[in-house]
Amino acid sequence: MTPSRFVFIRSSTGAAFTLRVKYCRSFLCRLRGYTFHPPIRPDEGLLLDSGRTSRLDTAIHMLGVSFDLAVFWINDAGQVVDKTLARAWRPAYLPQAPARYVLETHPSRLNDLQIGQIVQFDDTP
């Protein structure tokens, strides 16, 4: 996957979960996230790639974010290792287990993926 491209997230368990998300690999893109961004639609999201598996490197902040987000932490194997409803303007969220990717999407999507579920990233619709 290349930076600034859109990728599609699909559940490999057959659940109807497909999102078109912006792929963020650079530090600046990951730091900014949805800071000072207008509220997002249910089919939008960001996939933040820290480049390595870590709890600390996949921590997020909600400072400057004026809306809640469904947040999923995903490891190198594509397994969801944690999830939360991140509230607007909160200082920090840290995953329970090491992850490489952070998927941030509309709060209505929080129950679309469960911890332990496998997801796939794809560059094509």
Instruction: For the chain, give every domain's residue range.
Output: 6-122
pTM recorded for the entire structure: 0.90
CA–CA dist 104, 121 (Å, integer): 14
CA–CA dist 77, 18 (Å, integer): 18
pLDDT at position 8: 76
- Walk along the chain (125 residues) and give the pLDDT tens digit of each residue: 444 466 677 776 666 567 888 999 999 999 999 999 999 999 899 999 999 999 999 999 999 999 999 999 999 999 999 999 999 999 999 999 999 999 999 999 999 899 999 888 877 65
Joined tokens for residue 93: 């969220």
Q: What is the CATH architecture of 6-122?
A: Sandwich (2.60)
Q: Taking the mean position of all CA atoms in its chain, how far away is CA 73?
A: 6
CA–CA dist 95, 98 (Å, integer): 7
CA–CA dist 74, 78 (Å, integer): 6
CA–CA dist 120, 117 (Å, integer): 10
Pairing of strands 45-54, 18-24: parallel
